[in-house]
């Protein structure tokens, strides 16, 4: 073959390669467009990402400040049907090659154990609010407890554990070097006994059962206690209540335990990391649990003020052990109950009246949320029983509801349509749906989209 022919073939191959690469790039760039029409792939949504925000309304100022353009760009990127796939690809590369988790609050521990930063911070005392603040909190709690006792009501404080204190051996060495006894948990655990609070502390209970439990009490890639531990906790609290009040509650029981990879929220930290592939191949125990019927059993009215730890028990049907009217106050903000359709904001109800008709009041928190001091619940009950101040007369409540009414009056047609969709799923009136949607706009962290 002549040199001239060889040169032509080489040029042909290079030009062909360029065209192939160019067409390949065009195909990938146009994927979002043709995927909208053909919908070949079903990409999972990203966890922890809110897709309901609309672009801001255009006006003269935000156009020239480029805020409008930025808002539209973020909206389009977020609603690109393939963006979830590319985000997961990037996150997987960062994790697999550099051991990096693309999540604001995630911490990578040893042997691929994942932690949430808040649990690590509270374990090493970074969020310590001091003994004086916790003493003031416990003094008020004691007053509330004693007042409720005089009214023939049971008060129980429940301390939930945290993953960092349960698995300190899997924390990075740099964190283990910062361990201290000046933490909110170590302080409050001493003060609970000193002030004679009626309490359950699950931190030492979990540590004692760590090696003997039939299945793990915390998972490798989750932040909450495991589903298995959740069922054991339900049973423990029920027995505690029965002993304290000399009553007979519907028992929780299970006939078998399934062995499976992490289900539900048992991999919640990993889910927020939004990777392509799962991190853990560990299996956990999932009891097939049930509750005895309420008939011929005591049925106390319970009000639970808690974060997601005992919230998980509530969502796991724990309240089948109690009166149907019983309520769960999530972070003392949103209220749920078998007797309530959907969720309501705490300012929509008379909280003092609810406590007055409750038989048992439970305040619970995990270790990081100790600093929240029950999210003003104890303060409000103290002010009510000590000074007669009712939550319904709270200036913040009055202003909040006034703002909700203003928000309802300015809902767009699109927002009213979303409110109507919520009405269909929850079987509430359109006015209630608009109220709920307006509250959600103001408090996105606690209401459904």
Q: What is the pLDDT of residues 98-133, one digit of tens each?
A: 878 887 778 889 998 999 999 999 999 999 999 999
Work out the burial of residue 277: count CB atoms within 10 Å of its CB; fewer than 13 is exposed, 13-18 middle, 19 or more buried: exposed
| One domain, residues 155 and 180 | yes
Let me know: does 119 contact 353? Beta carbons within 8 Å: no
Q: What is the mean pLDDT of residues 84-91?
A: 78
Whether 283 has a pLDDT exceeding 90, the answer reads yes
pLDDT of residue 448: 41
Residue 90 is assigned to a structural domain of this protein: no
| One domain, residues 14 and 69 | no
pLDDT of residue 71: 75
| One domain, residues 124 and 271 | yes
| One domain, residues 315 and 380 | yes
Query: Using CA atoms, how far apart are residues 129 and 187, in angstroms rounded to an integer?
Result: 10
Residue 92 is assigned to a structural domain of this protein: no
| One domain, residues 405 and 374 | no
As given in the structure block, the two tokens for residue 260 are 């499976």
Residue 88 is assigned to a structural domain of this protein: no
Which of 88-102, 108-122, 232-246, 396-410: highest mean pLDDT? 232-246
Query: Using CA atoms, how far apart are residues 270 and 280, in angstroms rounded to an integer?
Result: 9
Query: Using CA atoms, how far apart are residues 154 and 197, in angstroms rounded to an integer?
Result: 11
| One domain, residues 327 and 411 | no
Q: What is the mean pLDDT of residues 89-97?
A: 84
pLDDT tens-digit profile of 335-394?
A: 999 998 778 889 999 999 999 999 999 999 999 999 999 999 999 999 999 999 999 999
Domain coverage including residue 25: 1-40
Q: Which helix (H) or strand (E) holds 252?
A: strand 252-261
What is the 3-state composition of the chain as percent helix, strand, coil, each rounded to the nearest 5? Answer: 55, 15, 35
| One domain, residues 303 and 398 | no
| One domain, residues 21 and 54 | no
Whether 2 has a pLDDT exceeding 70, the answer reads no
DSSP letters spanning 285-353: EEEEEEE--STTS----EEEEE-HHHHHHHHTTGGGGS-TT-EEEETTTEEEETTSSS-EEGGGS-HHH
| One domain, residues 156 and 290 | yes
| One domain, residues 266 and 370 | yes
Let me know: does 77 contact 88? Beta carbons within 8 Å: no
418 secondary structure, DSSP code: H
Q: What is the mean pLDDT of residues 413-442?
A: 80
In the block, tokens 């989209």 appear at: 449
Tell me which of 372, 390, 408 is where a domain ends: 390
* Mean pLDDT score across all residues of the chain: 86
Residue 91 is assigned to a structural domain of this protein: no
Query: Using CA atoms, how far apart are residues 222 and 220, in angstroms rounded to an integer?
Result: 6
Number of separate domains in the chain: 4
pLDDT of residue 101: 81
Residue 181 is assigned to a structural domain of this protein: yes
pLDDT over 70 percentage in the chain: 85
Residue 86 is assigned to a structural domain of this protein: no
As given in the structure block, the two tokens for residue 227 are 């589903």
Using DSSP, state whether 157 is helix, strand or coil. strand
Residue 286 is assigned to a structural domain of this protein: yes
Query: Using CA atoms, how far apart are residues 300 and 321, in angstroms rounded to an integer?
Result: 9
| One domain, residues 196 and 330 | yes
Using left for φ > 0, alpha for ψ between -120 and 50, and beta otherwise, residue 77 falls in alpha
Sign of the Cα pseudo-torsion (299, 300, 303, 308, in order): negative
Q: What phi, psi does 332 have (nearest 5°)?
A: 55, 35
User: Please, which pLDDT band fits residue 444 given cuts at 50, 70 and 90?
Assistant: low
Query: Using CA atoms, how far apart are residues 242 and 236, in angstroms rounded to an integer?
Result: 10
| One domain, residues 381 and 341 | yes
User: Please, which pLDDT band fits residue 213 given cuts at 50, 70 and 90?
Assistant: very high
Q: What phi, psi does 255 have (nearest 5°)?
A: -100, -20
Angle at alpha carbon of residue 51, lines to 102 and 328, rounded to 5° = 90
pLDDT tens-digit profile of 265-279?
A: 899 888 888 888 888
Q: Between 147 and 17, whose confidence is greater?
A: 147
How far apart, in Å, do the first and last CA atoms of the chain sit? 70
Q: What phi, psi does 84 have (nearest 5°)?
A: -60, -40
- pTM for the full predicted model: 0.83
Query: Using CA atoms, how far apart are residues 232 and 253, in angstroms rounded to an integer?
Result: 9
Alpha helix locations (H) across 220-276?
227-245, 268-273
Let me know: does 99 contact 92? Beta carbons within 8 Å: no
């Amino acid at each position: 073959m002549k040199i001239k022919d060889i040169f032509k073939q080489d040029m042909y191959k290079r030009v062909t390669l360029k065209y192939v690469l160019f067409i390949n790039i065009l195909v990938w760039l146009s994927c979002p467009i043709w995927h909208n029409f053909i919908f070949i792939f079903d990409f999972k949504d990203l966890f922890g990402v809110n897709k309901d925000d609309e672009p801001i309304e255009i006006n003269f100022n935000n156009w020239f400040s480029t805020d409008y353009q930025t808002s539209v760009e973020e909206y389009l990127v977020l609603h690109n049907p393939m963006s979830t796939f590319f985000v997961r690809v990037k996150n997987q590369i960062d994790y697999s090659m550099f051991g990096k988790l693309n999540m604001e609050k995630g911490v990578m521990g040893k042997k691929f154990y994942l932690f949430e930063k808040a649990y690590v911070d509270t374990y090493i005392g970074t969020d310590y609010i001091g003994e004086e603040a916790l003493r003031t909190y416990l003094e008020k709690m004691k007053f509330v407890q004693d007042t409720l006792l005089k009214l023939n009501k049971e008060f129980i404080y429940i301390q939930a554990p945290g993953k960092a204190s349960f698995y300190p051996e899997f924390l990075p060495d740099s964190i283990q070097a910062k361990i201290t006894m000046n933490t909110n948990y170590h302080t409050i655990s001493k003060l609970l006994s000193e002030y004679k609070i009626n309490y359950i502390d699950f931190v030492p209970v979990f540590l004692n059962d760590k090696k003997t439990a039939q299945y793990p009490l915390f998972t490798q890639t989750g932040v909450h206690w495991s589903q298995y531990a959740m069922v054991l906790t339900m049973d423990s609290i029920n027995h505690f209540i029965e002993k304290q009040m000399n009553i007979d509650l519907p028992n929780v029981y299970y006939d078998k335990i399934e062995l499976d990879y992490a289900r539900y929220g048992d991999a919640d930290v990993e889910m927020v990391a939004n990777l392509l592939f799962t991190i853990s191949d560990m299996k956990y125990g999932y009891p097939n649990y049930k509750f005895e019927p309420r008939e011929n059993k005591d049925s106390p009215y319970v009000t639970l003020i808690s974060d997601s730890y005992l919230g998980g028990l509530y969502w796991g049907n724990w309240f089948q052990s109690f009166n149907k009217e019983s309520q769960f106050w999530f972070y003392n903000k949103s209220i749920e109950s078998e007797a309530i359709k959907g969720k309501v904001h705490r300012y929509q109800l008379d909280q003092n009246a609810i406590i007055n008709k409750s038989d048992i009041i439970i305040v619970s928190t995990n270790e990081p949320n100790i600093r929240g001091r029950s999210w003003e619940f104890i303060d409000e009950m103290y002010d009510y029983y000590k000074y007669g101040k009712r939550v319904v007369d709270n200036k913040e409540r009055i202003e909040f509801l006034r703002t909700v009414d203003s928000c309802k009056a300015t809902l767009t047609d699109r927002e009213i349509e979303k409110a109507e969709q919520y009405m269909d799923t929850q079987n509430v009136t359109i006015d209630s749906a608009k109220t709920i949607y307006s509250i959600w706009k103001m408090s996105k962290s606690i209401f459904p989209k």
